Amino acid sequence: MPVHAFTTPLLLCLHLLAAALWVGGMATFHFAVRPAAVETLEPPQRLRMLCQALGRFFRWVAAAIVLLLATGFSMVQMAGGMGAMRWHVHAMLGIALLMMVIFGVVYRRRYPQLQEKVAASDWKAAAAALAGIRQLVFINLLLGVAVFVIAVVGRAW
Ligand code: HEM
C-alpha cells in the first residue's frame, strides 16, 4: 500500500481536530462561557475570569493555526499543488487566511488592551475592550462555520 494511503487520512484527522478546536472553542465561549459569567459574576470577577480564560484559549488557537496550515499545505502538496486543487480548497484557504488576520488583530492588539485595563481595575474600559473582542470572535465563528460548509458540501460540486 502506498505511504500516503495512511498519511493523507492522518493529516486530514489532525486538520479536522485543529479546526474543531478553534471553531468549537469560539462557539463554547460565545454561547456558554460568557453568558454564564454574565449571569453569575460581578464585573470585576467576571472580567478577570474572562481575560484569563481568553488568554488560555488563544494560546491553543495559535497552536491550532500552525497545525491547520501545516496539515492543509501538506495535503495540497501531496495532491499536486494549489493548481490541482478544486474551488473549495481555494475558498477554504482564502477564508482561513482572513480568519487568521482577524485572530492576529484580536491576540496582538485587542487582548493586550483588555489585559491592561483589567490590571488597572478600569472595569468600564475593560468591558468595552471585551465587547470589541467578542464582536471579532463572533465574526470568526461565522467565517469558521462557512469554511466547514464549503469544505464539506463544496466537495460535491
Ligand atoms: C479555519 C480553517 C480551516 C477549517 C475550518 C478547515 C476545515 C476543513 C474541513 C472540514 C475539511 C474536510 C473536508 C472533507 O473531507 O470533506 C478540510 C479539508 C482540507 N483542508 Fe481545510 N480547513 C481550514 C484551513 C485550511 C487551510 C489553511 C488549508 C491550506 C491550504 C486547508 C486545506 C485543506 C485540504 C487540502 C483539505 C482536503 C480537501 C479534500 O480532500 O477535498 N484547510 N478542511
Q: Is 17 exposed, middle or buried (0-12, 13-18, 19+ CB in 10 A)?
A: middle
Distance 61 CA to ligand 1 centre (A): 16
Distance 132 CA to ligand 1 centre (A): 28
10: Cβ contacts below 8 Å, ≥ 6 apart = none
Say yes or no: CB of residue 144 within 6 Å of ligand 1: yes
- Reply yes or no on whether the pLDDT at 4 is more than 70: no
pLDDT score, position 34: 98
Say yes or no: CB of residue 98 within 6 Å of ligand 1: no
86 residue type, one letter: R
Query: What does pTM read for this prediction?
Result: 0.93
What's the rounded Cα separation, in Å, for the pair 67 and 64?
5
Residue 101, Cα to own-chain centre: how many angstroms?
A: 11
Say yes or no: CB of residue 96 within 6 Å of ligand 1: yes
Say yes or no: CB of residue 139 within 6 Å of ligand 1: no
Predicted confidence band of residue 118 (pLDDT cuts 50, 70, 90): very high
For residue 150, which of 77, 93, 102, 98 has the smallest C-alpha distance? Answer: 93
Say yes or no: CB of residue 72 within 6 Å of ligand 1: yes
Question: What are the extents of the domains in the chain?
Answer: 3-156
65, 89, 103, best to mutate for ligand 1 pocket (most atoms within 8 Å of CB): 89
pLDDT, average across residues 37-42: 98
Whether 148 contacts 26, CB under 8 Å: no
Radius of gyration of the chain (CA): 18
pLDDT, average across residues 105-115: 98
pLDDT score, position 6: 86
Q: Residue for cell digits 502538496? A: 77
Say yes or no: CB of residue 64 within 6 Å of ligand 1: no
Distance 115 CA to ligand 1 centre (A): 33
Residue 107, phi-psi category: left (phi > 0), alpha (psi -120 to 50), beta (remainder):
alpha
